[in-house]
């Protein structure tokens, strides 16, 4: 494109410019800031001068991609951001920063099931669990979701609970999918993470399993209409993303007689003691007796955890686990996980 065409399209379409083969970032000014995003692993790069006062960068992308990005003047501090004056679309990245975002025309996030005015809504209630010894800070917020059905249902324990409730819109997605008979009805126990202690809580943590067994499940059994595990062992499930995705798989591997269903999104499977040692979760898969788990894995092709997820999928398949695996053209964010949730729920709980 010549500079006149670029500027005309910029005024009418905004940034970035979307074409069949990808997206073109545009900056107008004597100097251009640095560009960081899912597509370059958030490592600052410079735009190219297209004309005097005009800078561009063309990014080839598949037609269903979703991307987040920022501009910055500081290569060492990506929290010092500059707004893209031609893109008003921003989203909270979960760490105190607003990212710009855009999607290619076939991105599946535009088609996530949503309830309408006639859809029966599940009931959401807020609770607190407390323990001075097993919970950082002494207590934790829990959200419980009871679907709008009368019969007993399985339970899905959700790590990073408030993120999945509010950022991934999990309860509303479930309302729609249950009403459309895409998945069986199920209840949710969404437990909040421990903030600064999140890493410790989610890295293959038996202490977190203790909290789930001794504090979370008793609360859920009192408040929700759940299936009897003695009659249906392994009926419950665990869901999480990133570190939570690691913890979801660990939950199923350690307690398969309770949590026989696992949804792991962008699981952080690469933590290891040193480069010569396989990650602990891989060793658990390799050396523990195989259990009858039903596992979903998804990961973005534009995130640093892609190799670790491919390796974990291989480890699971070598041990003959029942695993669904999905790669999407996006990065490490809740918009991508929200978009993929319907696929995961259908695979694990489809009717």
185 and 95 inside one domain: no
Of 76, 106, 136, the residue at which a domain comes to its end is: 106
35 and 153 inside one domain: no
Of 106, 138, 173, the residue at which a domain comes to its end is: 106
293 and 207 inside one domain: yes
256 and 149 inside one domain: yes
What spatial distance separates the first Cα and last Cα of the chain, rounded to whole Å? 50
Of 106, 137, 159, the residue at which a domain comes to its end is: 106
Angstrom distance (rounded) from CA 130 to CA 73: 45
Range of the domain at 203: 113-349
Angstrom distance (rounded) from CA 307 to CA 321: 19
218 and 335 inside one domain: yes
What's the pTM value of the predicted model, to 2 decimals? Answer: 0.95
10 and 126 inside one domain: no
Q: What is the mean pLDDT of the chain?
A: 94
Angstrom distance (rounded) from CA 54 to CA 83: 16
134 and 205 inside one domain: yes
Q: What pLDDT digit, counting tens, does each position of 318-330 carry?
A: 999 999 999 999 9
270 and 291 inside one domain: yes
Q: Would you state the pLDDT for residue 279?
A: 87
Beta pairing partners, 191: 142, 159
267 and 190 inside one domain: yes
102 and 117 inside one domain: no
Note down pLDDT in tens along the chain; length 351 residues: 788 899 999 999 999 999 999 999 999 999 999 999 999 999 999 999 999 999 999 999 999 999 999 999 877 765 678 999 999 999 988 777 899 999 999 999 988 999 999 999 999 999 999 998 889 889 999 999 999 999 999 999 999 999 999 999 999 999 999 999 999 999 999 999 999 999 999 999 999 999 999 999 999 999 999 999 999 999 999 999 999 999 999 999 999 999 999 999 999 999 887 777 788 899 999 988 898 999 999 999 999 999 999 999 999 999 999 999 999 999 999 999 999 999 999 999 998
Q: What pLDDT digit, counting tens, does each position of 111-150 carry?
A: 899 999 999 999 999 999 999 888 988 999 999 999 999 9
92 and 175 inside one domain: no
- C-alpha to C-alpha distances, 144 to 196, 220, 288, 334, nearest whole angstrom: 23, 7, 32, 20
**CATH code of 184's domain:** 3.40.50.1820
176 and 239 inside one domain: yes
Q: Would you state the pLDDT for residue 309?
A: 97
**CATH code of 98's domain:** 2.60.40.10
How many structural domains does the chain have?
A: 2
């Amino acid at each position: 494109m010549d500079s006149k065409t670029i500027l005309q399209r910029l005024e009418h379409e905004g940034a970035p410019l979307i074409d069949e083969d990808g997206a073109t970032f545009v900056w107008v000014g004597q100097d251009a800031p640095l560009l960081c995003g899912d597509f370059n692993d958030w490592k600052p790069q410079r735009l190219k001068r297209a004309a005097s006062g005009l800078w561009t960068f063309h990014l080839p992308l598949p037609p269903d991609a979703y991307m987040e990005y920022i501009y910055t003047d500081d290569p060492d501090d990506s929290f010092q951001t500059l707004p893209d004056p031609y893109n008003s679309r921003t989203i909270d990245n979960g760490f105190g920063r607003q990212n710009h975002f855009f999607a290619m025309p076939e991105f599946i996030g535009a088609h996530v099931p949503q309830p309408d005015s006639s859809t029966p809504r599940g009931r959401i209630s807020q609770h607190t669990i407390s323990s001075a010894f097993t919970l950082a800070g002494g207590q934790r917020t829990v959200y419980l979701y009871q679907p709008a059905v009368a019969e007993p249902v399985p339970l899905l324990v959700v790590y990073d609970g408030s993120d999945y409730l509010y950022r991934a819109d999990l309860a509303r997605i479930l309302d729609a999918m249950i009403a459309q008979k895409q998945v069986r009805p199920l209840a949710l126990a969404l437990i909040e993470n421990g903030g600064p202690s999140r890493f410790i809580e989610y890295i293959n943590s038996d202490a977190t399993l203790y909290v789930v067994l001794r504090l979370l499940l008793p609360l859920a059994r009192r408040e929700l209409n759940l299936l009897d595990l003695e009659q249906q062992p392994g009926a419950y499930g665990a869901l999480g993303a990133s570190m939570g995705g690691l913890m979801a798989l660990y939950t199923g591997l350690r307690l398969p007689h309770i949590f026989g269903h696992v949804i792991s999104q962008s699981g952080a499977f690469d933590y290891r003691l040193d480069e010569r040692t396989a990650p602990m979760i891989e060793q658990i898969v390799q050396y523990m007796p195989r259990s009858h788990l039903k596992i979903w894995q998804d990961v973005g092709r534009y995130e640093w955890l892609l190799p670790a997820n491919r390796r974990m999928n291989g480890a699971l398949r070598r041990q003959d686990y029942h695993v669904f695996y999905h790669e999407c053209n996006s990065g490490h964010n809740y918009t991508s996980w929200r978009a993929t949730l319907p696929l995961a729920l259908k695979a694990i709980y489809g009717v």
